[in-house]
Amino acid sequence: MSSIGKLMKQAARMQQQMEIVQNDLAKRTVEATSGGGAVKVVAKCDGSLSSIKIDPQALNPADAQLVEDMILTAANQALAQAKTISTEEMGKVTSGFNLPGLM
């Protein structure tokens, strides 16, 4: 088989594997908290947020800015964890695929 044929088969296999990994990542979640657990954010490893929970005791109107900061912190932590997992999983799929001149 020619090099191009092998490369095409390898690319097709990698695409199938990537689709499987992407589907798995869409189901996988990570959790982050801030404010000593007052805010909890759950993110999916596809980069979307799944839920945000706020302890009712943290909802003093005078503390609105603090609660907003805690939500932002927890959301960013959860999304960073999700991105790390996604990058690691996708890297496993593409690790054996070398295109001459690209890497």
Summarised one tens digit per residue, pLDDT across range 28-81 is 888 999 889 988 989 888 888 888 888 888 888 888 888 888 888 988 898 898
pLDDT of residue 88: 87
State how far the Cα of 57 lies from the Cα of 34, in Å rounded to an integer.
14
Q: Specify the length of the chain in residues.
A: 103
Bridge partners, residue 6, by sequence? none
- Confidence category of residue 19, pLDDT binned at 50, 70, 90: confident
The label of the residue with tokens 């759950």 reads: 42
Bridge partners, residue 49, by sequence? 43
pLDDT of residue 22: 85
- Confidence category of residue 103, pLDDT binned at 50, 70, 90: very low
- Confidence category of residue 1, pLDDT binned at 50, 70, 90: low
Superfamily name with CATH number, domain 3-94? Nucleoid-associated protein YbaB-like domain (3.30.1310.10)
> Taking Cα atoms as reference points, which of 45, 56, 55, 53 lies closest to residue 21?
45
For the chain, domain boundaries: 3-94
